[in-house]
Structure 1
Amino acid sequence: MKAIVHEGTAGLEGVSYREIEEPLPGKGEVRIRLKAAGLNHRDLFVLKRHKENEPPLIIGSDGAGIVESVGEGVTAVKAGDEVIINPGLGWPDQSDAPPEGFEIVGLPFHGTFAKSITVPAENALPKPKHLSWEEAGVLSLAALTAYRALFTRGKVKPGMKVLIPGIGSGVATFLLQFAKAAGAAVYVTSRSKEKRQKALELGANKAIDSSADWNEALNGEKMDLVIESVGAATFNQSLGQLRTGGTIVTFGASAGDDVTINLRTFFYGQFNMLGSTMGSGEELKDMLHFIEEHQIHPVMDRTYSLSEYQEAFTRLERAEQIGKIAFSIE
């Protein structure tokens, strides 16, 4: 089958679109004929983390398709079912942190940028009926990351004020939609006028220029919750927007992971700081119920064929996207 494969040279230079052996489902597994897949920042990191001396790897973590065949002992899923993939392996139940041995498809195991993928049967979940194939294909990783950060960790409630710095990424757009659906007031930042305008169209209460004075732009209004994924470039500004006793949840560091904070300001502010990453199978099911209840659609940026992977990766690397980049798989 044709797939986007990384091997040898680190980075995009080590990626090719080529033939590779198609997987067969083993005991307790299903093979899914993929219809669409979603590009994530994780895929950029994988190009650096996958070592030159390791076997060729099909990258990609998000996908949706039709169950083609099932392995021995599989009864809950059958051929012909329309499903989305839970990319998390080994984290079935909600817990304080991922259990030891938790992995994500696309590294170290083959991923979704291919004609088909084989996963444990419990990792194939019913595709929400209101979503197109492309929308379903980009959903799991980003939406689950947003759901856990906002609900499990951030404990968002109706009437809360939520700040999302760096609007534009897939996770950030899900955060905005989820927080609004939960009844929160949502404030976002971006250097891009186009991304700020899109956020307002999605329901943001205010969208401010990241390069402006945040205190001035918010008129001194303080936040109950900040969901921070940018990292060093914005972290202290984000902390500065918290009310006394407020919470900051961090799950990313795209603009640097070394941050220095003033401890005295932090403890006098009675702030709460929580880490978060992806989420469990239980939370994914809760998230799917939530998006069906509120009829939420992913914000779609552009759709590419697998052979156009260089254009897709370059667009993501340059942070030009608004929402999710999809691959349509024929």
Structure 2
Amino acid sequence: MQAVQFSDHGDRDVIEYGEYETLEPGRNEVRIDIHAGALNHLDIWTRRGLPGVELKMPHIPGSDGAGIVESTGEAVSRFEPGDKVAVSAGVSCGECEFCRDGEPTLCVNYHLLGEHVRGVHAEQAVVPADNLVTVPDHVDWETAAAAPLVFQTAWRMLLTRGELKPGESVLVLGASGGVGHAAVQIADYAGAEVYATASTDKKLEYAREIGADHVINYEDDDFVAQISEKTGKRGVDMVVDHVGAATWQDSLKSLARGGRVVTCGATTGGQPETNIDRIFWNQLEVIGSTMATPGEVDDVLELVWDGTFEPRIRATLPMSETAKAHRRLEERNGFGKVVVIPDERYDR
């Protein structure tokens, strides 16, 4: 089969699209004919090399994908050939104390398809049956591939971990990215007053279309000053910050007393300076979140499948042009997700 892959960490030129061994599903696994995959920033970090993560090379990246079940392992009963499915990338052991307590995202052995082990950006993918969700027939392939990771992540961040309530105010940084544009929609759905930042006026127009009440161009304006002005110097109840070092101090400054910042990542670096005085004096909360539980995945994807939430697609490319897809993310071109399709299925 043909697959996106790399044998060394590095820049975009390490990415290849070529022959990879055909994989057989194990006892609890499913083999899928992939119709579409979608990129996330973690694909960039994986390609560059994550500290402490040793990959089996060549590595197939990709945590988001959707397709048709081609075959199943002997112990699989939930799916059968012909089923339309999407991948939910989080893998837990099912045996540790956190898994037993119903918190698999806290699993001591938690890892992600595509980031820590072989991913799904290929003509076919073999994944655990527990990592698949059923996709209704009316949902197109790009939506099915683009939705799972970012919408489950944003859903858990805002509603489960952040406990966002109707009438509260929330600032979403980087609203044009995958998690950001999902967070804007979820915050609006929850009845919050939504502030959103992006780097261009065009991106801000999109943010308004999907639910932002107030928008700030962070290239032109200091978003801390704008939040202060727009909230009468109060600040917001919650900041969604997946940017990291570049925005961390300003995220804390944007919070009202008793507010909280929720984070699921750090695209500009994971070791920012932190003003601890501000945290304890203003009684702020710093809340981390990763992926979602199976129940949370089902809840949010039901709202994607029925059209309540919309994964925006900034570009669709053949898998052989995955390096260009990485460039789209790295250069922050466009709004929403980048989708890649196996070359044999790409007919644009």
Verify same fold: TM over 0.5.
yes
Q: Does 1:217 align with 2:218?
A: no
> Residue in 1 aligned with 2:121?
113
Residue type of the alignment partner of 1:84: A
| Equivalent pair of 2:252/2:278 in contact (CA under 8 Å) | no
Residue type of the alignment partner of 2:116: P
> Residue in 2 aligned with 1:327?
340
| Equivalent pair of 1:91/1:280 in contact (CA under 8 Å) | no
> Residue in 2 aligned with 1:30?
30
| Equivalent pair of 1:10/1:52 in contact (CA under 8 Å) | no
Q: CA deviation at 1:97?
A: 4.8
Q: Does 1:83 align with 2:85?
A: yes
Q: Does 1:201 align with 2:214?
A: no
In the alignment, the residues of structure 2 paired with residue 35 and residue 100 of structure 1 have an alpha-carbon distance, to the nearest angstrom, of 32
**Count of paired positions:** 330
Residue type of the alignment partner of 1:25: P
Distance 1:296 1:128, change over 3 A: farther
| Equivalent pair of 1:190/1:208 in contact (CA under 8 Å) | yes
| Equivalent pair of 1:88/1:281 in contact (CA under 8 Å) | no
What does the per-residue CA deviation read over 1:21-46, in whole Å, with 9 as the maximum and x for residues that have no partner?
11111111111111110011111011
For 1:290-301, list aligned pairs within 5 A. Answer: 290-292=303-305, 295-301=308-314
In the alignment, the residues of structure 1 paired with residue 11 and residue 341 of structure 2 have an alpha-carbon distance, to the nearest angstrom, of 23
For 1:40-119, list aligned pairs within 5 A. Answer: 40-49=40-49, 54-90=56-92, 94-95=102-103, 97-119=105-127
In the alignment, the residues of structure 2 paired with residue 223 and residue 131 of structure 1 have an alpha-carbon distance, to the nearest angstrom, of 36
Residue type of the alignment partner of 1:204: A
In the alignment, the residues of structure 2 paired with residue 158 and residue 229 of structure 1 have an alpha-carbon distance, to the nearest angstrom, of 22
Runs of 5+ consecutive residues of structure 2 not aligned to the other structure: none
- Once the two structures are overlaid, the 10-residue window that deviates more, 236-245 or 35-44, is 236-245
Distance 1:89 1:204, change over 3 A: same
Residue type of the alignment partner of 1:10: G
| Equivalent pair of 1:131/1:297 in contact (CA under 8 Å) | no
- Once the two structures are overlaid, the 10-residue window that deviates more, 282-291 or 110-119, is 282-291
| Equivalent pair of 2:84/2:137 in contact (CA under 8 Å) | no
> Residue in 1 aligned with 2:241?
228
In the alignment, the residues of structure 2 paired with residue 85 and residue 297 of structure 1 have an alpha-carbon distance, to the nearest angstrom, of 17
In the alignment, the residues of structure 2 paired with residue 226 and residue 295 of structure 1 have an alpha-carbon distance, to the nearest angstrom, of 23
What is the TM-score with the length of structure 2 in the denominator?
0.89
For 1:232-311, list aligned pairs within 5 A. Answer: 232-292=245-305, 295-311=308-324
In the alignment, the residues of structure 2 paired with residue 53 and residue 245 of structure 1 have an alpha-carbon distance, to the nearest angstrom, of 42
- Once the two structures are overlaid, the 10-residue window that deviates more, 314-323 or 216-225, is 216-225
Q: CA deviation at 1:150?
A: 0.9
What does the per-residue CA deviation read over 1:151-173, in whole Å, with 9 as the maximum and x for residues that have no partner?
11111111111101122111100
